Amino acid sequence: MQNISSFLDKFKTIIKDDKELKNIILLVIKKNTNLQIKDSSFSVKNGIILIKEKPPIKNEIFMKKEKILNELKQLLKKNTISDIR
């Protein structure tokens, strides 16, 4: 019988992976757009980045969308980001 700590260990890696993924996305967006956004201003769901920012910031990100997606695909091996909305 497994104990509860071994069960909870898999959630530690999920949280760690989510934080790392968000940090990589933030760095790529900053590099390509020179915009500093918060990690709370977007979410990742089913391989899609959902931006929750003001329209001028969203437009700047969308203008560089292809460049951002290409760079993310190169950096992320197991997590593939397919779109930005």
Residue 54, domain extent: 4-84
Residue pair 54/60 in contact by the 8 Å Cβ criterion: no
Q: How far apart are CA 37 and CA 16, in angstroms?
A: 20
Helix, strand, coil percentages for the chain (3-state, nearest 5): 60, 10, 25
pTM over 0.85: no
Instruction: State residue 11's pLDDT score.
Output: 58
Instruction: State residue 61's pLDDT score.
Output: 96
Helix axes 65-75, 55-63, angle to 10 degrees: 70
Instruction: State residue 50's pLDDT score.
Output: 96
Which pLDDT band, with edges at 50, 70 and 90, does 4 fall under? confident
Number of domains composing the chain: 1
Q: How far apart are CA 52 and CA 55, in angstroms?
A: 9
